[in-house]
Amino acid sequence: MTAAMSRPIPRLADAAEAAGVAAFLQRLVRWEKTAAVRLQAGGGALALFARPARFDVLAVRTARLDDPELRLDTTVAAGELLERLDERAGTLPVPAPVTGPPWAGVLPPRGGWQRLGGLPPDAVRSVAAAAVAEFRRRAEVLAPAERTREQLDALADEIWSRPLGRTGLPLRAAHAAYALGFLGGSEPLGLSSAGPWLRLATPLGSVVVRSVRPPGLSVTPA
C-alpha cells in the first residue's frame, strides 16, 4: 500500500460544512496561489490553519467531521486540497504534505483562552471597509513613479498596523476577517486572549494575532 493510499480521507459532517471549507480555501488561494494550510483533526472536528498573504495573522476555520476517531496533523497546499474536495460527497482527500512554512510550527494554544468581551460585527465591518477605501484612495493619488510595491507595502503596513479601538487588535485582523468572509451575520464577535495571543472569533472562523501590548478594552462586556 502506498503512502497516498494509506492516508485517511476525512468526511465532513454535512454539505454546509463542505461548502464552508471550500469557501475558505477559495479565498486563501485567491490571495496566494501557493498558500499552505495546516490540518489538525481530532474529536470529530477539523481545524484548518493558514496565514493569508500580506495579512501577518493566522486564520482558523473549523468544520465538523462524521468520524470522531479520526486523527490527523499535516501541512498541505491549499490549492491542491481545494481541488480534491468533493462538496457533494463531503469528502476531503488529503494531498501529500509540503515542507511546512515557519508559521505552521507556531500555532496558538488550544485551551486557556480568556474571553474579554464582544464586538458588534457591523462596526468591525465598517472599520475594515473604511480602511480598505483609505488604502485605495491614497494609492490612487500616488504619482506613477511612487506607486512601487515598496511604497504600497509601506502604506498598507501604516494602515493595517493601527489598533482596532482599544482592543489591542491591529486593523489587519479585522481586514483578514473581512477578506476571508468571516464577518457575515449579526452575532457579536468574541475577543479573547491566551498569553501573548489575541483571537477575534466569529461563527465562520477566527483570526489570531500575537499581541504587542495588553489590550485596553473598549469592547462590550460578554
Percent of the chain with pLDDT strictly greater than 90: 75
Q: Both 89 and 139 in a single domain?
A: no
Report d(CA 28, CA 23) in Å as an integer: 9
Q: Both 149 and 191 in a single domain?
A: yes
Q: Both 124 and 60 in a single domain?
A: no
Report d(CA 106, CA 1) in Å as an integer: 33
108 inside domain: no
140 or 219, which is more confident: 140
CB burial of residue 198 (10 Å; 0-12, 13-18, 19+): buried
219 inside domain: no
For residue 6, what pLDDT is reported?
58
Report d(CA 96, CA 154) in Å as an integer: 36
For residue 220, what pLDDT is reported?
39
Q: What is the pTM of this model?
A: 0.88
- The answer to whether 181 touches 204, Cβ cutoff 8 Å, is yes
CB atoms within 10 A of CB 208: 21
Q: Both 59 and 131 in a single domain?
A: no
Q: Is the pLDDT of residue 52 over 50?
A: yes
Domain containing 37 equals: 3-93
pLDDT digits (tens, 9 = 90+) for 149-205: 999 999 999 999 999 988 889 999 999 999 999 998 788 899 999 999 999 999 999
Q: Both 79 and 132 in a single domain?
A: no
For residue 28, what pLDDT is reported?
94
| Cell numbers linked to 44 | 470529530
111 inside domain: no
User: What value does the mean pLDDT of the chain take?
Assistant: 89
pLDDT digits (tens, 9 = 90+) for 93-105: 999 999 979 999 9
For residue 215, what pLDDT is reported?
47
Angle at 220 between CA 173 and CA 127, to 5 degrees: 35
The total of structural domains in the chain comes to 2
For residue 214, what pLDDT is reported?
47
| Cell numbers linked to 48 | 484548518
pLDDT digits (tens, 9 = 90+) for 55-71: 889 999 999 999 999 99
Q: Both 124 and 54 in a single domain?
A: no
For residue 42, what pLDDT is reported?
94
144 inside domain: yes
214 or 51, which is more confident: 51
Q: Both 76 and 34 in a single domain?
A: yes
Q: Is the pLDDT of residue 141 over 90?
A: yes
Q: Is the pLDDT of residue 21 over 70?
A: yes
In DSSP terms, 202 is beta-bridged to 205
Q: Please report which confidence band the pLDDT of residue 72 belongs to, taking 50, 70 and 90 as the band edges.
A: very high
Question: What is residue 107's DSSP assignment?
Answer: P
Q: Both 17 and 89 in a single domain?
A: yes
20 inside domain: yes
| Cell numbers linked to 173 | 485582523
